[in-house]
Structure 1
Amino acid sequence: MDQNDLGKIDLQVDLTFHSAPDLFLIGDISSSTNIRLVNPEPWVYDIKKWIISLLENKRDDCPKVLFLARNLSLSLELIDDKKMIELNSFWRQQNQSTDVLSFPALDQELLVPFDGFLELGDIFVSVPMAQRQAHEHHHDLVEELRWLVSHGLLHLLGWDHPDEESLQKMLTCQEHLLNIEGMV
């Protein structure tokens, strides 16, 4: 799918975005990375094209209401390890940082057409953890952030990975989403 294909499905994405504070950034940050850390537009573009791709491929594992809704709402917050530890401790009883947490708001069984904005939920990404993982995997921070946000989005849409088979299906879907051409 290229940029021209995004117009085939009319989809609006309302993103509440909380940018990464400068204090959390380690080392030199490229301008394209900085844009991702402080600007919601590239994220709106990615999220929109990822959801459109899932809809066009008629994924059975997507919530049925997603095929009916054309106005979606979610939040993305780029945070530090301290806040991630607080969230992970409170919600998962794990007193440690993690790379991404998602809090789905979707009712997987909802089938009613929805005229307003369908709330998907919240995604939190630890920028310091993403920086460490990008370094470990020998790729740039933007690639790691996109990986984590796509993973979080799939969780908002009901995906989970309780076993190796479901993890592999989810990772394959993520790879597909991340390989769609578009904004860096």
Structure 2
Amino acid sequence: MQVEVYVQNYLNEYSQSESIKIEDIHIPITSQTWENWFNCWLEILQPSISSTANYEIGLRLTNDSEIQELNAQYRQQNKPTDVLSFAALEVDSPIPSEALASMPLYLGDIVISIDTAQQQAQKQGHTLLTELAWLASHGLLHLLGWDHPDEESLERMLKQQVKLLKSVGISIDIE
């Protein structure tokens, strides 16, 4: 199985910004790192998703201003948020087997605000890298049809995120 992650990275624009400096990220998050993480996570989650040899995911790392626009446009909430997911497939929609064999399955797009991620990382007492991985795993689960309309489903989703992060060597405690 192989995942192609198309990363649109807003980080370079931060080098001129007072918010986050590139050097504040001690471990660079390259496109290859993202692909490795998503590959690992999809291996773990594969029993619950359509089996195919290749997947595609769009990942946009952005700022609060842009994510607020998206949040207002698509969720009618005119405020920044940490992560948005735009699933390409309907849950339980059949996918022709010939399509699975011939081309990557496009799962959708994940958009993460680095501004909000940095604030949350500081509040939680962990690194920006950990927070970005946490938010990306959350976004991936949404792409795969997970949701958290109640406390019980949120708890299941958070436990799954802990498992996904642990699989890539990131430890996180949830309260």
Q: Which TM-score band (shorter chain)?
A: 0.7 to 0.9
Q: C-alpha distance in 2, partners of 1:46/1:181?
A: 6
Q: Specify which of 130, 135, 144 is matched with residue 157 of structure 1.
A: 144
Query: What is the percentage of aligned positions where both structures have the same residue?
Result: 40
Q: Which has the higher contact order (CA 8 A, sep 6+)?
A: 1
Normalised TM-score (structure 2): 0.86
Q: Specify which of 101, 107, 113 is matched with residue 90 of structure 2.
A: 107
User: Could you tell me which residue of structure 2 aligns to residue 79 of structure 1?
Assistant: 62
Q: Specify which of 149, 155, 158 is matched with residue 168 of structure 1.
A: 155
Gaps of 5+ in 1: 1-10
Q: C-alpha distance in 1, partners of 2:96/2:142?
A: 21
User: Could you tell me which residue of structure 2 aligns to residue 8 of structure 1?
Assistant: none
1:121-146 alpha-carbon deviations (Å, 9 max, x no partner):
00000001000000000100000000
Q: Is the 8 A contact 1:15 1:73 kept in 2?
A: yes
**For residues 50-89 of structure 1, what are the structure 2 equivalents within 5 Å?**
50-55=41-46, 58=47, 62-63=48-49, 65=50, 68-89=51-72
Q: C-alpha distance in 1, partners of 2:170/2:132?
A: 14
Q: Is the 8 A contact 2:40 2:168 kept in 1?
A: no
Instruction: Give the stretch that moved more between structures: 17-26 or 155-164.
Output: 17-26
RMSD after superposition:
1.8
Q: Specify which of 21, 25, 31 is matched with residue 30 of structure 1.
A: 25
Query: How many pairs does the alignment contain?
Result: 162
Gaps of 5+ in 2: none
Report the Cα offset of residue 18 of structure 1: 0.6
